[in-house]
Amino acid sequence: MGKCEQFNCPWMDAKDLRRIADEARDTYWPENSIPIEMEEIIDLRLRLNIEFIQDLFSEFNMIAYLKSDLSGVVVDYNYFMKENKSNPLRFALAHELGHYVLHRELYTKISFNSPKEWQDFIITLPESEYSSFECQANEFAGRFLVPREMLKAKIDESMEEIKRFNLIGYLKKYPDIVLSRISPPIRRYFGVSEDVIEKRIHREKLWPPKLR
């Protein structure tokens, strides 16, 4: 195992994270179709092994992790085989792709051969280091799976419906309620959870929409 003092996650500006995510999408998913098929990217294009194992979540409180030698991603079989329309595997694989793209140098400083070793290492890290490490991968994953311009286009479509049904006044008074109503079809389009979609909408500063 590497030593926690060697694991210093560098600070990254949100704009840089989003730029890197956009560039990675252009590289690994040039067809630009939605939803983005993460299993194809990880398995077929990057040639990384996707290994399903039992009880990763129940025993180690992890749903997925990137192997220390960057050869593949380990995921919890039971968690991802559950009936779940939000397709958590898509976001989890995008999150691990974020580590693969953003944190390659950090992975060269550590070595672990099992979920237990990875868990043991994580708990030795200062909270600030681990938080930055995970937040960066989350921001990468969200932007990678939900391109801003495509998200804005879907919101614009929803706004046309809101105008057609004369609901602008309701939108002005209850923007959060309206967002919760338009999120389900948008998240289905991108193949992610409503939580991911609502976070992206707020992170991209697309809500509440500007009204003319």
- What are the tens digits of pLDDT across the range 6-19? 678 999 999 999 99
pLDDT at 56: 94
| Segment 100-119, tens digit of pLDDT | 999 999 998 899 999 999 99
pLDDT at 88: 83
Closest by CA position to 5, among listed 106, 99, 92, 95 = 106
Q: Where are the alpha helices (DSSP H) in the chain?
A: 14-28, 38-39, 56-60, 77-81, 88-102, 104-107, 115-122, 127-145, 148-164, 168-173, 175-190, 194-203
- Which residue did the predictor score with more confidence, 136 or 8? 136
Cα–Cα separations (whole angstroms), residue 163 to 150, 157, 176 = 20, 10, 17
pLDDT at 210: 85
pLDDT greater than 80 at residue 83: no
Report the CATH number of the 4-145 domain: 1.10.10.2910
CB atoms under 10 Å from CB of 78, counted, come to 14
Q: Stretch 24-40: mean pLDDT, rounded?
A: 97
- Do residues 128 and 20 make contact, with C-beta atoms less than 8 angstroms apart? no
The amino acid occupying position 106 is L
Q: Stretch 125-131: mean pLDDT, rounded?
A: 92
pTM metric for this prediction: 0.94
User: How many CA atoms are closer than 13 Å to the CA of 86, on its beta-carbon side?
Assistant: 12
pLDDT greater than 70 at residue 4: no
- Do residues 191 and 91 make contact, with C-beta atoms less than 8 angstroms apart? no
Residues in the chain: 212
How is the chain split into domains, by residue range? 4-145, 148-203
CA distance 65 to 189: 26
pLDDT at 212: 66
pLDDT at 7: 78
> How high is the mean pLDDT of the chain?
93
Q: Stretch 188-200: mean pLDDT, rounded?
A: 95
